[in-house]
């Protein structure tokens, strides 16, 4: 068994010093040494950026209320920054991590200490690089246990197992996105999906790189699922076993059973798996494959792992390899009705202990179109670009393709030097109405800019995110930093501002940090802007982020001392 598997199966291999913090929780210290490492997959070894030479990276474990302190030291030629995906970062925006949004990158030879507390959250999240496409290899689980002595709102599992999906590129992902941005076309697709870094037996040369979950009969396992893939939503299923969903994006949900789940990039979920009561005399494949509705190319392969029952102790040692192997059926790659049904079942637990504090009134309504478009080809040598009709692919919110500044937005704001960095005039709705999900308009060109929405502290916000069919309808997983939001409604076609709000769920909607905008439809979210700072919002399909499907919110300080952004740490990187 390889070290990677050992690391993933055995309890916390990370050296985590624990000391008592002032705020009642413990302080957990980690060191992330960003280093190059040779990793072999699909019969091919490549040198890639890793944390501590591990792939996937180390597991971070904390309890609700703990302070987490991670020293990141950059020993690779690339610039780096790390995002603690789903952590609210109350007043600690300096530790959020998206490059050129809350911080300048940590340059070669530099280090930066991320320092934050985990407040009011418990469940599975993850961490990943947040610069260019480095998150393809730089990611790992972030597990928040309940406070000491506080039980889960479901039966205590026998064991807990992280299952983190990734996307493996045999080439260099940095070269792939750089090439795509040059040519204007779609980037090369990945060569495999992975479970805990392993592609599994359905790929050539990968049988030995298979994730195996060894289980005992008659036990309950808590699977902590994370979709860290770059560009595809994934279905997941285990042959002949049903799964109980108990948590999503570190929020407890009303438990429900399903054979298959869907996870967009950026989403996480906890599942209970009850193993069969007796040794079943068989092994079972677990598999994940893509859900895709867009027109572009994508990786249409399937990653699999094995659920392996331990042999009864008395049985003679015939090899488990001879046992029959059952395979799960995943939905068709474009099965939107499955996705709609599945997502409609995810409801907040909404109990007195774990309430759903849905904003009942809205101070500011926003309507954002989400989708792809084009920009003109800028090749000096007159060769046409490889996007639609010789253009370049672009992507936008309200037709504004976000231009990354060359200094960090939060620093510019805090130091009162925002003038030449960003404009506070991001539009509340599209400048022009069109039939968003009908026949595409003739002009597919996006405009661009570095624009923010400015919100006073404690503004109650509603955002309708409307997919466009400009270059084909497509599901986009939108991720918001700094907040959880409530998903109060969704539907297909154009959002109807008169009729649709009547059906909003303001009682027990799911609260999360990443939501799939339905392909050819819309989703409505609400959140309370109670966290001062600059907060990125973007599509978690990395290619769409690269094309500009991103924007940011600036939440101003409140009046009280505890409603203000804390000062920046002394070691905050400079641009």
Ligand X SMILES: *[C@@H]1O[C@H](CO)[C@@H](O)[C@H](O)[C@H]1NC(C)=O
The 32-71 contact track toward ligand X, x by CB under 6 A, reads -------------------------------------x--
Neighbouring C-alpha atoms within 13 Å toward the C-beta of 565? 24
Residue 291's DSSP bridge partners are 233
Question: Could you tell me if residue 564 is left (phi over 0), alpha (psi between -120 and 50 degrees) or otherwise beta?
Answer: beta
Considering only residues 139, 203, 402, 414, which one is a binding residue for ligand X as defined by CB under 6 A?
Answer: 203
Considering only residues 73, 377, 421, 575, which one is a binding residue for ligand X as defined by CB under 6 A?
Answer: 575
Residue 52: phi, psi to the nearest 5?
55, 25
Piece in contact with ligand X (CB under 6 A), picked from 220-228, 276-284, 316-324, 437-445:
437-445
| Binding-site partner at residue 497 among ligand X, Cu ion, none, CB < 5 to 8 Å by type | none
Q: At CA 93, angle to CA 88 and CA 97, rounded to 5?
A: 90
**Binding to ligand X by residue 2, rule CB under 6 A?**
no
Secondary structure in 3-state letters for 120-161 = CCCEEEEEEECCCCHHHCCEEEEEEECCCCCCCCCCCCCEEE
Piece in contact with ligand X (CB under 6 A), picked from 105-113, 312-320, 356-364, 459-467:
105-113
**Binding to Cu ion by residue 526, rule CB under 5 A?**
no
Classify residue 243 as exposed, middle or buried by CB count within 10 Å of its CB (0-12, 13-18, 19+). buried
| Binding-site partner at residue 333 among ligand X, Cu ion, none, CB < 5 to 8 Å by type | ligand X
Which residues are within 8 A (CB) of 50 and not within 5 positions of it... i.e. 6 or more apart?
34, 35, 36, 37, 39, 57, 137, 138
**Binding to ligand X by residue 182, rule CB under 6 A?**
yes
Are 374 and 445 contacting, i.e. CB atoms less than 8 angstroms apart?
yes
Site for Cu ion in 360-379 (CB under 5 A): none
**Binding to ligand X by residue 389, rule CB under 6 A?**
yes
Residue 141's DSSP bridge partners are 126
Piece in contact with ligand X (CB under 6 A), picked from 136-144, 169-177, 255-263, 269-277:
169-177
Give the Cβ contact number of residue 451 at 10 Å. 18
Site for ligand X in 483-522 (CB under 6 A): 494
Q: Which is nearer to ligand X, 258 or 460 (CB)?
A: 258
Give the whole-angstrom CA distance, residue 197 versus residue 313: 31
Considering only residues 544, 547, 550, 552, which one is a binding residue for Cu ion as defined by CB under 5 A?
Answer: 544
Which residue in 469, 398, 401, 395 sits closest to 435, CA to CA?
469
| Binding-site partner at residue 388 among ligand X, Cu ion, none, CB < 5 to 8 Å by type | ligand X
The 475-504 contact track toward Cu ion, x by CB under 5 A, reads -x----------------------------
Name the strand (E) or helix (H) holding 254.
strand 251-258
**Binding to ligand X by residue 469, rule CB under 6 A?**
no
| Binding-site partner at residue 113 among ligand X, Cu ion, none, CB < 5 to 8 Å by type | ligand X
Give the whole-angstrom CA distance, residue 152 versus residue 150: 7
Piece in contact with ligand X (CB under 6 A), picked from 53-61, 218-226, 435-443, 524-532:
435-443
Tokens describing residue 400: 């504004």
Q: Which is nearer to Cu ion, 7 or 541 (CB)?
A: 541
Site for Cu ion in 10-69 (CB under 5 A): none
Considering only residues 51, 529, 539, 552, which one is a binding residue for Cu ion as defined by CB under 5 A?
Answer: 539
Site for ligand X in 369-388 (CB under 6 A): 375, 379, 381, 383, 388
User: Least distance from C-beta 16 to Cu ion, angstroms?
Assistant: 35
Considering only residues 103, 336, 466, 490, which one is a binding residue for ligand X as defined by CB under 6 A?
Answer: 336
Give the whole-angstrom CA distance, residue 96 versus residue 293: 31
β-pairing, 60-63 vs 139-145, is: parallel
**Alpha helix segments (H runs only) across 402-554:** 409-414, 542-546
Are 251 and 245 contacting, i.e. CB atoms less than 8 angstroms apart?
no
With H, G, I as helix, E, B as strand and everything else as coil, classify residue 369: strand
**Binding to Cu ion by residue 87, rule CB under 5 A?**
no
User: Least distance from C-beta 449 to ligand X, angstroms?
Assistant: 7
The 459-478 contact track toward Cu ion, x by CB under 5 A, reads -----------------x--
Q: What are the DSSP E strand ranges found in 22-66? A: 26-41, 44-51, 60-63
**Binding to ligand X by residue 113, rule CB under 6 A?**
yes
Residues near ligand X (CB under 6 A) are 69, 79, 104-105, 107, 113, 115, 171, 175-176, 179, 182, 188, 203-204, 300, 332-334, 336-337, 340-341, 375, 379, 381, 383, 388-389, 403, 406, 435, 438-439, 442, 444, 448, 471, 494, 575
Rule CB under 5 A: which residues touch Cu ion? Answer: 476, 539, 541, 544
């Amino acid at each position: 068994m390889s070290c990677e598997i050992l690391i993933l199966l055995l309890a916390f291999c990370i050296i985590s010093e624990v000391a008592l913090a002032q705020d009642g929780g413990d302080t957990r210290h980690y060191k992330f040494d960003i280093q190059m490492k040779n990793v072999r997959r699909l019969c091919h070894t490549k040198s890639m950026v890793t944390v501590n030479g591990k792939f996937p990276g180390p597991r971070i474990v904390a309890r609700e209320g703990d302070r987490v302190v991670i020293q990141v030291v950059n020993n690779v030629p690339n610039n780096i920054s790390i995002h603690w995906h789903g952590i609210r970062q109350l007043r600690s925006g300096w530790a959020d991590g998206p490059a050129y949004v809350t911080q300048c990158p940590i340059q070669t030879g530099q280090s930066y200490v991320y320092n934050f507390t985990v407040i009011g959250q418990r469940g599975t999240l993850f961490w990943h690089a947040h610069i260019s496409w480095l998150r393809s290899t730089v990611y790992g689980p972030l597990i928040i246990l309940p406070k000491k002595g506080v039980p889960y709102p479901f039966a205590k599992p026998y064991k807990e197992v992280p299952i983190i999906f990734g996307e493996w590129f045999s080439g260099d992902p940095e070269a792939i996105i750089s090439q795509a941005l040059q040519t204007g076309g779609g980037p090369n697709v990945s060569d495999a999906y992975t479970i805990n870094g392993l592609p599994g037996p359905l790929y050539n040369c990968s049988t030995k790189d298979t994730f195996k979950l060894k289980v005992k009969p008659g036990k309950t396992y808590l699977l902590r699922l994370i979709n860290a893939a770059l560009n595809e939503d994934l279905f997941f299923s285990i042959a002949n076993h049903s799964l109980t969903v108990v948590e999503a994006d570190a929020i407890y949900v009303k438990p429900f059973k399903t054979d298959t789940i869907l996870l967009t990039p950026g989403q996480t979920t906890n599942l209970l798996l009850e193993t069969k009561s007796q040794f079943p005399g068989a092994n079972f494949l677990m598999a994940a494959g893509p859900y895709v509705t867009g027109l572009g190319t994508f990786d249409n392969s399937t990653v699999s792992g094995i659920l392996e029952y331990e042999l009864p102790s008395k049985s003679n040692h015939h090899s488990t390899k001879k046992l029959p192997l059952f395979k799960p059926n995943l939905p068709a790659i474009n099965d939107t009705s499955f996705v709609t049904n599945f997502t409609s079942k995810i409801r907040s637990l909404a109990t007195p202990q774990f309430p759903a504090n849905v904003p009942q009134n809205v101070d500011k309504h926003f309507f954002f179109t989400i989708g792809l478009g084009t920009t003109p080809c800028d090749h000096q040598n007159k060769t046409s670009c490889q996007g639609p009709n010789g253009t370049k692919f672009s992507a936008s919110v309200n037709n504004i393709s976000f231009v990354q500044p060359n200094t960090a937005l939060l620093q510019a704001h805090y130091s009162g030097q925002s003038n030449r960095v960003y404009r506070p005039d991001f539009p509340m709705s599209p400048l022009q109405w069109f039939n968003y999900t009908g026949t595409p308009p003739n002009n597919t060109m996006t405009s661009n800019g570095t624009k923010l929405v400015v919100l006073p502290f404690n503004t109650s916000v509603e955002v309708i995110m409307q997919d466009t069919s400009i270059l084909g309808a497509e599901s986009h997983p939108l991720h918001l930093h700094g907040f959880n939001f409530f998903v109060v409604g969704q539907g297909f076609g154009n959002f109807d501002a008169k009729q649709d709000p009547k059906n909003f769920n303001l009682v027990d909607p799911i609260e999360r940090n990443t939501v799939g905008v339905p392909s050819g439809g819309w989703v409505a979210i609400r959140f309370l802007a109670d966290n001062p700072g600059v907060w990125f919002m973007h599509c978690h399909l990395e290619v769409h982020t690269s094309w500009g499907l991103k924007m940011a919110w600036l939440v101003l300080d409140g009046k009280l001392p505890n409603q203000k952004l804390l000062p920046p740490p002394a070691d905050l990187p400079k641009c």
